[in-house]
Structure formats: structure tokens, C-alpha cells
Structure 1
């Protein structure tokens, strides 16, 4: 399973979100693909007010303040 993680540099909430996602990754097997929204204008426009964003198969799983329970439930199905 591949999970897309959208963030940008110098974003403390993104650092915390990635840490939370990696904790979930210890319990569920998936690969994290990290995307910097500042490298793609379309992605930047789509997610600039939402980051960090966790996406699976084109569907946003969670954004903003990420939490273990929500991510685990969504990715563990």
C-alpha cells in the first residue's frame, strides 16, 4: 500500500504529522511517498490550506492535525 504525504518545508504541523504517520507505519505495512506542495503549482493550490495531507488511492484520509486513531482506522481496513 502506498500513502501520499503532502507537506512543505518549515511546517511544524507537517513534521508532527509525519511523525504520527510513521508511528502508524510501525503497526500497518505501507510505503510513504512524500510530496512538497511547493514543487507543483496545482498541488500547492489544492492543498495549501490543508497541509499536512495524507492521501490513499486519490482519497484524502486526513489533513491538518493528524492523529493515530483516525489514520490507523482508515489505513487498517
Structure 2
């Protein structure tokens, strides 16, 4: 199944164990549903650091904030129509 343009964005930072957990959930869900995703690091993007510093990791779905700190797999699947 071809992967679509990214619908999920993970905003993370290096060395963040919650980010690692979120990434694993996002990878699993998006692979199952054939949905694209992308990751941005607050270490590389100062505007994101300013906006999301206290909520990392942050998950966006279709450009809107979906979750922060943890990603609920069932909730993410539901948001993506799966």
C-alpha cells in the first residue's frame, strides 16, 4: 500500500524517552493505516521549541495538535479513520 503525504507530525527532541515511546506508536499506527508521518526536532527549529517546549513530545494530526507527552494508540487510530 503506498504511503500518503504526511498526516501525522511528531515534534520531539533528542534524548527524550517519551519521544521514543511516541515515535514507536506513531510508526506502528501509520504503517498499519498506510498514512505518512514526519518528525521535527525542537533542537533544529527554534520556533517549535518556543511553542512546544513544555509539552514535548507533541503529535499533530492534519496540522492540528492531537496529543502531548504521550500518544494514545486507539485515539490516534480513531483520528486517522482507522
- The TM-score with structure 2 as length reference comes to 0.83
Q: Tell me, which stretches of 5 or more residues in structure 2 are unaligned?
A: none
**From 47, 58, 77, the counterpart of 1:42:** 47
Count of residues in correspondence between the two structures? 77
- Following TM superposition, the consecutive aligned residue runs of length 4 or more in structure 1 with deviations greater than 6 angstroms are none
Distance 1:4 1:47 in 2: 13
Contact 2:61 2:79 in 1 (8 A): no
Distance 1:67 1:56 in 2: 13
CA RMSD, 1 decimal = 1.4
